[in-house]
């Protein structure tokens, strides 16, 4: 196991796509310390910013102890192994991830899990805006894998989702699942407006409250429970809405019936 500890508090963004089990594999401590990183506009080496310790008998592959909320691209494109971060983590964590596991014992920054194809990201805290979402102007969202968040998430989460599963124990901001075409999003608490806007496929499951369902969705039925993925079934009852009809979509939004009495007026259309 390689353990990284920040030598000081970072005041500007740090780019560290090299922090990955695939990159560290079979490299010596000296080789790892000499890997290139940037801090702001300065080109540095990983050893300039982190204390690096090695224990060949311990797991996981990489442990980071301390606040790395300014450190971006941890676990980028990783395919195997495990990273544990004991502290807050920066943006773009797990971007293009295809396998392995990243555990964050803290909060995680925006755009994490962007273009994710496989693996697992566990966040034992909150997540920022654009979780599992692409950069503005692109449509390459999450394609596979699983992201689990114990806390709440920001806005525009799961945009252009093409596959994979998001399980969010806290609430979610606006435009959840914007333009999603496949995959599943489960939110165990409240969700803000515009959920599922422009979605064409996939499912969003909301067990808490939602202020409204967009008028471009139509109610289809009421179901006693819903299957999120192969490991998770959620008891309802749930209103089932289809859409986004403005996009000729066939996506489904499942909204907890008991927690959303304001939606009872839709029942006359069943």
pTM reported for the whole predicted model: 0.97
pLDDT of 99 strictly over 90: yes
Residue 12 has pLDDT above 90, yes or no: yes
- Give the pLDDT score at 74: 98
User: pLDDT tens digits, residue range 174-221?
Assistant: 999 999 999 999 999 999 999 999 999 999 999 999 999 999 999 999
In angstroms, the CA 31 to CA 195 distance is 47
In tens, the pLDDT along 247-259 reads 999 999 999 999 9
Residue 57: band (very low, low, confident or very high) from pLDDT cuts 50, 70, 90 = confident
Least Cα distance to 2 among 51, 36, 43, 37 occurs for 51
Using alpha carbons, list the distances in angstroms from residue 110 to 47, 70, 133, 214, 238. Answer: 26, 11, 9, 25, 30
- The tokens describing 200, both together, are 């064409």
Angle at 80 between CA 73 and CA 82, to 5 degrees: 70
Instruction: Kindly tell me if the per-residue pLDDT of 121 is higher than 90.
Output: yes
Q: What is the pLDDT of residues 67-82, one digit of tens each?
A: 999 999 999 999 999 9
């Amino acid at each position: 196991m390689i353990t990284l500890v920040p030598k000081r508090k970072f005041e500007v963004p740090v780019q560290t796509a090299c922090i990955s089990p695939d990159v560290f594999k079979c490299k010596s401590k000296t080789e790892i310390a000499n890997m290139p990183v940037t801090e702001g506009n300065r080109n540095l080496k990983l050893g300039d910013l982190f204390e690096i310790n090695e224990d060949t008998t311990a797991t996981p592959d990489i442990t980071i102890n301390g606040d790395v909320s300014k450190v971006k691209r941890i676990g980028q494109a990783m395919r195997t192994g495990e990273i544990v971060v004991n502290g807050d983590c920066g943006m773009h964590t797990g971007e293009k991830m295809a396998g392995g596991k990243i555990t964050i014992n803290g909060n995680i920054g925006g755009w994490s899990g962007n273009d994710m194809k496989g693996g697992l990201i566990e966040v034992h805290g909150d997540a920022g805006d654009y979780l599992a979402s692409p950069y503005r102007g692109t449509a390459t969202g999450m394609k596979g894998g699983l992201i689990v968040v114990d806390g709440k998430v920001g806005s525009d989460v799961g945009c252009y989702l093409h596959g994979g599963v998001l399980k969010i124990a806290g609430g979610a901001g606006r435009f959840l699942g914007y333009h999603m075409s496949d995959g599943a999003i489960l939110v165990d608490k409240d969700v803000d407006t515009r959920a599922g806007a422009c979605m064409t496929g996939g499912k969003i499951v909301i067990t808490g409250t939602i202020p409204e369902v967009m008028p471009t969705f139509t109610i289809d039925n009421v179901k006693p429970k819903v299957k999120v993925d192969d490991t998770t079934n959620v008891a309802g009852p749930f209103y089932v809405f289809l859409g986004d009809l403005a996009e000729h979509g066939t996506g489904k939004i499942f909204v907890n019936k008991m927690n959303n009495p304001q939606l009872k007026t839709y029942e006359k259309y069943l």
